């Protein structure tokens, strides 16, 4: 949700005709600097919101491809952790913020290009070309 | 009211028991998402945008039963993803029915007709079929031409086989209220038990953030749709929640009323916001800072939400928790809500053209005044 809403009073919110939505960032391919603790925390918060896999490089040198679905933040990095699934393991895993040295938004952003306008444009182009049974299909499970 | 007496009795006694025992927070419906995989790719849906390895994951029947038992809610809705893609969905449904849970299986119905012989009709089982309006509107909404006809085939077959069936619609900005009312006529003509509906909401995981109504527009749309009701229309929802949508009463969000469980765990705080996960229902109730959610909290993520997962529970508790609420609920069940102002809204709305696709207005992203 954009910060713009925050300045509205309750009465204004009740009178809203259209709702300002969240501004989604284009994060695919991003490698945050992680120059300090705050940057690491902010990057992991973005990873929690990201609809794709990220690659974590640990201070031990181990690399993990992960879909981060949860985070718990504590007072220190050692007290904070993310929970994730990897493509090749069935169970949930977790890792402390303190163990993370590098992060890359390496996986495809699965929410990108899924806007209503994208569908309307796609539909109109196909319709104009005379196509029948026009549809969007789910991504392949590869 | 379309809801059977036995279900109403179960829910009402459950609510009264919770109130008499002084339980502050309790759940009426478990939102059980056994998988996120779907056979549709609706633009703007924030429920299915995951990498393939997440889409391949699914809850086991045992995990589903454990969640239902831990939560204790008398009703279980099974959305997703598309539940019929789960290879053990029949086992999951049968297990929940055996536990006397009123199950609402939410499906796009693309596979419903073919799969129906695997299910057994029961007062505990309802197929809640996703239909977002008349043929052209639904097909455009779910981004698939022909989707409506397939779903309707499934509905008719399910009704024929003696299943409880409802339709389940979400309405976004640009919805033509006259078309929605014609849609109600159509679906009631198919023999469904009732209609379920909800306004769209710009939850932040939805990839599309531009086509959601603010609260003023939601109230005006639903006032136009739900006033001056036809006697044939039945709604599988609390009449007081419908009055809330029409702007006739106010409720605060009750996110704990419909908790969500999926492959990630128990979702904080509600079905649409994903602010994190915990491992148990108890932990969800005890560790979520509930005051941080709902319009009254000032949380901007909740600013335009009027969705049933937050606002139907207080309506149900209101209806079964006091004589005043009960009388209002009974009155609402039988009222046609005559409203000349609502009729004027319908008359002023663009004339319904069956062949026209949903037209979405460009968002202004600015604060506008309400003009009723």
What whole-number distance in Å separates Cα of residue B81 and Cα of residue B198? Answer: 18
Identify which of A88, A3, A103 has the alpha carbon closest to the alpha carbon of residue A48: A103
Q: Which two tokens stand for residue B194?
A: 């009732």
Query: Cβ of B213 and A90 within 8 Å?
Result: no
Q: Where are the beta strands (DSSP E) in B75-124?
A: 75-78, 102-107
Mutation to test the B interface, candidates A4, A17, A136, most B Cβ within 10 Å: A17
Query: Cβ of B207 and A112 within 8 Å?
Result: yes
Q: Which domains does chain A have, with CATH numbers?
A: 26-132 (2.30.30)
Q: How many CB pairs under 8 A join A and B?
A: 187
The per-residue DSSP string of B201-249 comes to ---TT-S--SS-B-HHHHHHHHHHHHSS--TT--BSS-HHHHHHHHTSS
Q: Which residues of B56-77 are buried (b: 16+ CB within 10 A; e: fewer)?
A: ebbbebebbbebbebbebbbbb
Peptide bond between residue B81 and the one before it cis (omega within 30 degrees of 0): yes
Domain holding B49, by residue range, is 5-348
Domain annotation covers residue B107? yes
Domain annotation covers residue B365? no
For residue A15, give the chain B residue with the closest CA.
B216
C-alpha distance from residue B179 to each of B159, B245, B350 (Å): 24, 18, 10
The number of distinct structural domains making up chain B is 1
Give the nearest partner residue to A1 out of B56, B211, B300, using CB atoms: B300
For residue B301, give the chain A residue with the closest CA.
A1
Question: CB–CB of A110/A52 below 8 Å?
Answer: yes
Domain annotation covers residue B363? no
DSSP three-state, residue B129? strand
DSSP three-state, residue B75? strand
Show which of residues 259-278 on chain B sit within 8 Å of chain A, judged by CB atoms. Answer: 264-265, 276-277
Question: CB–CB of A16/B361 below 8 Å?
Answer: no
Domain annotation covers residue B361? no
Q: Distance (Å) from the C-alpha of residue A92 to the closest C-alpha of chain B?
A: 8
Domain annotation covers residue B237? yes
What whole-number distance in Å separates Cα of residue A102 and Cα of residue A71? Answer: 17
Domain annotation covers residue B359? no
Beta strands at B274-278 and A54-58: parallel, antiparallel or unpaired? unpaired
What whole-number distance in Å separates Cα of residue B234 and Cα of residue B225? Answer: 13
Domain CATH for B199: 3.80.30.10
Mutation to test the B interface, candidates A9, A11, A19, A70, most B Cβ within 10 Å: A19
Q: Distance (Å) from the C-alpha of residue A133 to the closest C-alpha of chain B?
A: 5
Secondary structure of B298-330 in HEC code, one letter for each residue: CCHHHCCCCCHHHHHHHHHHHHHHCHHHHHHHH
Residues of chain A with pLDDT under 50: 1-5
What's the confidence (pLDDT) of residue A117? 81
Show which of residues 82-101 on chain A sit within 8 Å of chain B, judged by CB atoms. Answer: 83, 85-88, 90, 92
| C-alpha B301 chain-centroid distance | 19
- For B220, phi then psi, to 5°, come to -70, -40
Give the nearest partner residue to B41 out of A69, A83, A136, using CB atoms: A136
Domain annotation covers residue B87? yes
Domain annotation covers residue B112? yes
Give the nearest partner residue to A24 out of B38, B41, B207, using CB atoms: B207
Show which of residues 199-258 on chain B sit within 8 Å of chain A, judged by CB atoms. Answer: 201-202, 204-217
Q: Tell me whether A138 touches chain B (CB under 8 Å).
A: yes
CA atoms within 13 A on the CB side of B292: 9
Beta strands at A54-58 and A100-104: parallel, antiparallel or unpaired? antiparallel
C-alpha distance from residue B289 to each of B169, B284, B328 (Å): 30, 9, 32
Question: CB–CB of B10/B74 below 8 Å?
Answer: yes
DSSP 8-class letter at B232: T
Q: Which of chain B's residues have a Cβ under 8 Å away from the Cβ of A17?
A: 213-214, 216-217, 364, 367-370
What's the confidence (pLDDT) of residue B45? 83
Q: Which two tokens stand for residue A51?
A: 């609809």
Query: Cβ of B140 and A16 within 8 Å?
Result: no
What whole-number distance in Å separates Cα of residue B90 and Cα of residue B80? Answer: 15
Q: What is the pLDDT along chain B (372 residues), one digit of tens a residue?
A: 578 899 999 999 999 999 999 999 999 999 999 999 999 998 878 888 999 999 999 999 999 999 999 999 999 999 989 999 999 999 999 999 999 999 999 999 999 999 999 999 999 999 999 999 999 999 999 999 999 999 999 999 999 999 999 999 999 888 899 999 999 999 999 999 999 999 987 666 566 656 678 888 899 999 999 999 999 999 999 999 999 999 999 999 999 999 999 999 999 999 999 999 999 999 999 999 999 998 888 888 888 889 999 999 999 999 998 899 999 999 999 999 999 999 999 999 865 444 344 433 333 333 333 333
Query: Cβ of A52 and B51 within 8 Å?
Result: yes
What's the confidence (pLDDT) of residue A6? 54
Q: Which of chain B's residues have a Cβ under 8 Å away from the Cβ of A52?
A: 51
Query: Cβ of A3 and B300 within 8 Å?
Result: yes
């Amino acid at each position: 949700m954009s910060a713009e809403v925050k300045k509205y009073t309750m009465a204004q919110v009740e009178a809203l005709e259209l709702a300002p939505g969240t501004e989604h960032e284009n994060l695919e391919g991003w490698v945050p600097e992680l120059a300090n603790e705050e940057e690491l925390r902010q990057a992991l918060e973005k990873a929690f919101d990201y609809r794709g896999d990220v690659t974590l490089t640990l201070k031990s040198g181990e690399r993990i491809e992960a879909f981060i679905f949860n985070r718990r933040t504590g007072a220190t990095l050692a007290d904070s952790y993310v929970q994730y699934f990897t493509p090749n393991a069935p169970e949930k895993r977790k890792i402390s913020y303190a163990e993370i040295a590098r992060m890359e938004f390496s996986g495809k952003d699965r929410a990108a290009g899924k806007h209503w306008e994208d569908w309307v444009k796609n539909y109109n182009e196909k319709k104009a070309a005379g196509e029948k049974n026009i549809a969007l299909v789910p991504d392949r499970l590869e | 009211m379309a809801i059977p007496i036995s279900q109403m009795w179960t829910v009402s006694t459950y609510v009264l028991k919770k109130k008499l025992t002084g339980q502050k927070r309790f759940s009426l419906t478990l939102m059980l998402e056994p998988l996120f995989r779907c056979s549709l790719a609706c633009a703007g849906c924030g429920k299915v945008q995951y990498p393939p390895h997440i889409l391949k994951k699914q809850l086991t029947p045992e995990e589903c039963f454990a969640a239902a038992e831990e939560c204790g809610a008398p009703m279980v809705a099974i959305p997703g993803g598309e539940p019929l893609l789960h290879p053990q969905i029949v086992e999951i449904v049968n297990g929940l029915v055996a536990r006397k849970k009123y199950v609402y299986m939410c499906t796009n119905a693309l596979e419903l007709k073919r799969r129906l012989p695997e299910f057994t009709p029961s007062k505990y089982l309802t197929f809640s079929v996703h239909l977002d309006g008349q043929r052209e509107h639904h097909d455009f909404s779910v981004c698939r031409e022909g989707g409506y006809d397939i779903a309707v085939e499934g509905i008719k077959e399910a009704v024929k086989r003696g299943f409880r069936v409802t339709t389940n619609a979400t309405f976004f900005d640009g919805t033509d209220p006259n078309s929605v009312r014609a849609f109600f006529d159509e679906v009631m003509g198919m023999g469904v038990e009732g209609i379920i509906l909800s306004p769209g909401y710009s939850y932040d995981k939805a990839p599309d953030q531009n086509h959601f109504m603010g609260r003023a527009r939601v109230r005006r749309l639903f006032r136009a749709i739900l006033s001056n009701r036809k006697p044939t229309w039945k709604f599988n929802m609390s009449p007081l929640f419908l009055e809330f949508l029409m702007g006739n009463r106010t409720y605060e969000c009750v996110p704990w009323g419909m908790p969500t469980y999926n492959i990630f765990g128990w979702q904080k705080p509600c079905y649409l916001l994903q602010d994190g996960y915990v491992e148990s229902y108890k932990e969800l109730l005890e560790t979520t800072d509930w005051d941080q959610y709902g319009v009254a909290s000032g949380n901007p993520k909740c600013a335009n939400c009027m969705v049933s997962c937050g606002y139907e529970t207080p309506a149900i508790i209101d209806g079964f928790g006091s004589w005043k609420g009960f009388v209002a609920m009974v009155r609402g069940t039988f009222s046609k809500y005559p409203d000349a102002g609502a009729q004027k809204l319908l008359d002023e709305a663009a004339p319904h053209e069956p062949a026209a696709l949903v037209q979405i207005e460009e968002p202004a992203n600015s604060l506008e005044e309400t003009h009723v």
